[in-house]
Structures are given as structure tokens and as C-alpha cells.
Amino acid sequence: MRCVDARELLSAVLDDELPSDECGAVVEHLEQCARCSSEAGALRALKHSVARLQAEETSTAAVRARIDALRFARNRQGPRSLAVAAVATVLIALAALTLSGRWRHDLSDVVAADHLKSNPAVAPPQVVTDSPFRIERFFAGATGFDPTVPRLKGAELLGARLCHLDGETAELIFYKHDGRNISLFVTAAPPRTAACTKHRGLTVCREERNGLGIYAVSDLPETSLRRLLGHS
């Protein structure tokens, strides 16, 4: 493959949007061409930087009130319905938060975004060590669950930091394997199902272990990430 052809496809490779045969040809070229490989690194860093821009903003109370009114509009039976709806919304939200303690939706996309933003090269770990025991001590008492540091056989443990997922404090542990970063999130909210899926061009494997949610994120192939997690 010529450099000019490879460069046309670099972005699509980075985004995991290329068929595997074409992707393989580009990867093969990158292994042989230092200049294209360097360009690929620059594009990857750029992608990570864009991912760190602000993806969410809190809407104003007025907008939320209007949306709540829309939400309950079908139940309108009288002039007080909007006020009743607004009160009901607050009560339902409070009840849901009180009973469940968290929103139980799939966090895969959130952790993929956090992986891009929390790359250890960008946001250094709060504790740098290859000792899982030191990391467990670091997490002790900082989250609402017992410290857990999954061992990924064959991966290098780099360190860890605390993070916030869905409004709760969670563990974020950094590993490295085959030169690729792995972010592993441990959260009190287990996923509904165990699976590996693609988000933002990254592999995200999620599962429940001992009642906790485990989310592993990396640009490693799914088979490699599964193997590291002990799936096969």
C-alpha cells in the first residue's frame, strides 16, 4: 500500500470504521512506514483531545420544567396538571434515586469517553504503582464498596485514580498491554448484561463480578481484551 492511500484511510482505521481486510492492509503499512505511523499517532492524539471537550451541559431549570410538562402532557386533565406533573416528576426522581441509589443504564459509552479523557498520558494516575495491594489501599474507604483490583494476566498494572460515573465515585485502574492502554472501571452499578461492544472506536467489555460493575476499555481487539479478562 502506498503512503497516500494509507493516509486516506487512517481516520477510518482510528474510528474502527473500515472493513477488517482494508484495516489489516493499513496496519501492515504502518508497521513498515515510520512517517505514516507517526501521522497515525498524531491523529489518535487529536481524537483524544477532541474527546476531552465538553460533551455534556446542564440544562436550565426552565428547560427542564418545560420538558417535564411535555412528558406529562398526555395526562392533562385540568389547569393544575402541569404543577402536579412537575411535583410528580420531582417525587418520582427522588424515589428512584433513593431506592436504587443510581441510574442503571448502560455505562459503556460513558466509560469509552472517560477512557479517551483519562488516558494516563493526559490525566496522570493518583497512585502510580504496579502493586494491586497498594492500589486497594488507595481506594479503601473512598468508594461505597470494598476495594477491588482485577488482575489482568499478561497486562502491566500502571496505577489508578478515582473517578465519577453516573454521579458515584468509582475506581479507574490503568493497565498496559502490547503498548495499548486499558482503562478498567469498577463501579457499584453492575451492567444488566455481560458483553463486549464497540464505542467511539474502542472495545468496551462489561460484566458483573461480586455484585460490582466491571468495564474494561481499550483500543485492543475484542479477543485480546476478553483474554485479559479471563473470558477464554
Partner 1 sequence: MTRDEFSEVVLRWLEQVTAFARRLTSSAADADDLVQITYEQAFRSWHTLRHPRAGRAWLFRIARNAAVDRFRRESARPEIELVGYEALDIEVAMPLHPVELIDLEAALSRLPIDQTEAIVLCDLWGFTYEEIAAISGCAVGTVRSRISRGRVRLLKILRSGGSANARERRS
CA distances to 85, 156, 183, 231 from 180, rounded to whole Å, are 50, 10, 10, 19
Burial class of residue 212 in the structure, from the number of CB atoms within 10 Å of its CB (0-12 exposed, 13-18 middle, 19+ buried): buried
Nearer to partner 1, 45 or 83 (CB): 45
Q: How far is the CB of 131 from partner 1 (least distance, A)?
A: 28
Binding site for partner 1 (CB under 8 A): 7-12, 15, 17, 42-43, 46-47, 49-60, 62-64, 66-67, 70-71, 73-74, 103, 105, 109, 112-113, 116, 123, 199-200
Q: How far is the CB of 228 from partner 1 (least distance, A)?
A: 23
d(CA 27, CA 36): 10
Nearer to partner 1, 54 or 98 (CB): 54
Nearer to partner 1, 83 or 92 (CB): 92
Percentages of the chain per state (helix, strand, coil), in multiples of 5: 45, 20, 35
Q: How far is the CB of 148 from partner 1 (least distance, A)?
A: 27
Q: How far is the CB of 78 from partner 1 (least distance, A)?
A: 20
Are the C-beta atoms of 187 and 165 separated by less than 8 Å?
yes
Nearer to partner 1, 16 or 136 (CB): 16
Sequence-distant (≥ 6) Cβ neighbours of residue 198 within 8 angstroms: 16, 204
Neighbours of 53 (CB within 10 A): 7
Nearer to partner 1, 54 or 193 (CB): 54
Q: How far is the CB of 53 from partner 1 (least distance, A)?
A: 5
